Amino acid sequence: WIVIQRRKDGSVNFNRTWAEYKEGFGDLRGEFFLGLEKLHLLTQSQPHELFITLTDFSNKTAYARYNNFVIGNEGEFYEMKELGTYSGNAGDSLGNHRNRKFSTPDRYNNTSGSCAKEFNSGWWFRSCYWVNLNGQYEKSGKANYNTGVEWITWKYQSLKFTQMMIKP
């Protein structure tokens, strides 16, 4: 597995620019985002499985698996082109973001307006979101209106730990 994103303690600010999300940021041993250009290059040549682990502040866990994760190129605004079939116990929140372009607080590429600025993060926003694993980390697990690290179909509250991984 290649870990492409991790949240665990709020030590890294995910309120970043388009350029930072393109290149990636953070610490591979802690919190990080691998980078949109790397995601595109990894997923363009062959289908990749996406596996997401979620943990809440009471240490309950859930997962979501998608069998065909594909990210477009920068000219396509790193669109989440494919996800494939969902399986897991977290609910298919990410499916609502299929075919959405990536947006950051300094670059809106979606029809939902300024979601990236409102929620202080980069993501594949759609109305504004059902999932935002790059949202503002809330150490208490309680978030104000949709500001946290969230996966709406599993827990309508901010999460303690998330990890996104891919493999061919």
For 13-69, give the secondary structure using H, E and C. CCCCCHHHHHHCEECCCCCEECCHHHHHHHHHCCCEEEEEEEECCCCCEEEEEEEEE
Using CA atoms, how far apart are residues 102 and 31, in angstroms rounded to an integer?
20
In this predicted structure, the answer to whether residue 80 has a pLDDT above a threshold of 80 is yes
> What domains appear along the chain, each with residue ranges and CATH number?
2-167 (3.90.215.10)
Q: Which tokens is 86 given?
A: 């969902």
**Stretch 4-8: mean pLDDT, rounded?**
98
In this predicted structure, the answer to whether residue 81 has a pLDDT above a threshold of 90 is yes
Q: How confident is the model at residue 143 (pLDDT cuts 50, 70, 90)?
A: low
Bridge partners (DSSP) of residue 70 are 82
Pick the residue with more confidence: 101 or 165? 165
Coil, helix or strand for 117? helix
50-65 per-position pLDDT tens digit: 999 999 999 999 999 9
In this predicted structure, the answer to whether residue 167 has a pLDDT above a threshold of 90 is yes
**Stretch 11-16: mean pLDDT, rounded?**
96
